[in-house]
């Protein structure tokens, strides 16, 4: 699960039971921490020790990642996002990997994972944009990969217009799809 609120805000929200379980919508409570890990940022790294939350209703625990993290990935949302944009514009994974100083197999894995999920991610982005009151202007296209990126960017734009959040676009995209950018099922807005 990806947290959309700051670290202090997360602690307060968990203590008050205002963080919903992504599986059953029950309330999560504080339940220790996950192991510390390094997230590779665009320039350098950042140590993160994510909070865990426990749902009494469904008896599951969840690691609550900051929005700059992509679940099950060592690199930040911005790094992965730059790679996805470059791929959508026609660059090959080896060229992208060299520019980002990452292994080619890692970049190829991101591109393949996003490509496999592009239809679901496009639907997720459109649903969020509509739910937030800013439906995207659609035009015909034959590039599902690029369409998915555009729909997610539109959803992030709708989020900013509605809430005025000042995070990076990639953090918003990861948060909007509930961390489902490269793994798992993208989360739809409430009511869908």
User: What are the helix (H) ranges across the chain?
Assistant: 7-16, 77-88, 93-100, 104-116, 118-131, 144-163, 169-176
pLDDT digits (tens), the chain, 192 positions? 544 455 668 888 898 999 999 888 899 999 999 999 999 999 999 999 999 999 999 999 999 998 899 999 999 999 999 999 999 999 999 999 999 999 999 999 999 999 999 999 999 999 999 999 988 877 767 789 999 999 999 999 999 999 887 778 999 999 888 888 998 888 878 766
In this prediction, residue 4 carries a pLDDT of 45
The number of beta carbons lying within 10 Å of the beta carbon of residue 185 is: 13
Instruction: Give the helix, strand, coil percentages of the chain, each rounded to 5.
Output: 45, 15, 40
Residue 48 is predicted with a pLDDT of 93
User: Phi, psi (5° rounding) for residue 77?
Assistant: -60, -40
């Amino acid at each position: 699960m990806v947290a959309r609120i700051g670290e202090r805000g997360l602690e307060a929200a968990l203590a008050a039971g205002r963080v919903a379980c992504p599986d059953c919508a029950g309330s999560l409570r504080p339940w220790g921490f996950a192991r510390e890990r390094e997230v590779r940022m665009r320039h350098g790294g950042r140590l993160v020790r994510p909070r865990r939350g426990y749902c009494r209703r469904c008896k599951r625990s969840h690691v609550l990642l900051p929005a700059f993290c992509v679940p099950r990935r060592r690199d930040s949302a911005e790094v992965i996002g730059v790679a996805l944009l470059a791929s959508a514009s026609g660059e090959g994974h080896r060229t992208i990997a060299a520019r980002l100083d990452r292994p080619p197999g890692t970049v190829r894995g991101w591109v393949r994972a996003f490509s496999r999920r592009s239809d679901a991610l496009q639907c997720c982005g459109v649903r969020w944009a509509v739910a937030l009151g800013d439906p995207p202007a659609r035009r015909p296209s034959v590039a599902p990969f690029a369409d998915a990126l555009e729909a997610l960017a539109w959803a992030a734009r709708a989020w900013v217009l509605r809430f005025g959040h000042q995070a990076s676009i990639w953090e918003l995209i990861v948060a909007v799809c509930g961390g489902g950018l490269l793994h798992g099922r993208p989360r739809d807005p409430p009511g869908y």
